[in-house]
Every structure is written in C-alpha cells, then in structure tokens.
Structure 1
C-alpha cells in the first residue's frame, strides 16, 4: 500500500525538471530508499561498535592454546 508525501518546490525547479525529462517521482523514491539504507547501516555500525566495546580482549595466543589442548586430548 502506498501513501502520499507532499513536497513543495519552487515552480521554476519543477519546470526545469520537466524540461530536462527528469522523473522527479522516481528520483525522490530512490533518494529516500538510499537514505534509509544509509541510516540503517550507520545504526548497525554503532551497534557493532557498542558490542565490540563490551567484549573482553583475548589474552595471549589463544589459537596455540587450543592446538595444545587438542593434541593433549
């Protein structure tokens, strides 16, 4: 289902868009979709950074410890 979003632009701007054959409806839809993707990516990056800040640093050479443990078993 669609909704209508009204945008007021100067008459000259609309005339120029039409003269240049620019599909302003499509341009606006694509712009809004791109902005949503960008904001979601920023939000996800912030959440990842927050998660990383809560992780404790890995001590020493953990992979070597795992290998030694496996060899001993």
Structure 2
C-alpha cells in the first residue's frame, strides 16, 4: 500500500524537470529511500558506539582466559 506525499516546488523547477524529461516522482522516491537507509545506518552506528562505551575497555586476552577457564572446569 502506498500513500501520497505532496511537495510544493517553484513552477519553473517543475517545468524544467518536465522539459528535461526527469521522472521527478521516481527521483524523489529514490532519494527518500536512500535518506531512510542512511539515517538507519547512522542510528545503528550511534547505538553501537553507545554500547561500546558502556561496556568499557576489556583488559588482557579475554579469549585465552575463557579457554583456560573452560579447561579448568573439566
């Protein structure tokens, strides 16, 4: 299902788009899809950075410690 979004532009811009044969509805749709993709990526990066800061720095070789701990448990 789709909805209609209207945008007011200067008449000369619309005329120029039509004169140049630019499919402005497709161009706007593609622009908005790209805008949403970039914003989602930005927010995900921000959230990952926030989580990284909250976890803090891990000291030492954590993988080796886990392996030793696992071996000692046997």
For the criterion TM > 0.5, the same-fold answer is yes
Aligned mates of 1:71, 1:7 — CA distance in 2? 65
Q: Does 1:46 align with 2:37?
A: no
Shift of the 3–71 alpha-carbon distance from structure 1 to 2, 3 Å rule, reads: closer
Q: Does 1:8 align with 2:8?
A: yes
* Structure 2: segments with no counterpart, 5+ residues: none
Q: Does 1:61 align with 2:73?
A: no
Aligned mates of 2:11, 2:17 — CA distance in 1? 10
Who is 2:33 aligned against?
Answer: 33
TM-score in terms of structure 1 length: 0.82
- Compute the displacement of 1:62 (Å): 3.1
**Structural RMSD (CA):** 1.7
TM-score in terms of structure 2 length: 0.81
Q: How many residues align?
A: 73
* Structure 1: segments with no counterpart, 5+ residues: none
Aligned mates of 1:5, 1:71 — CA distance in 2? 62
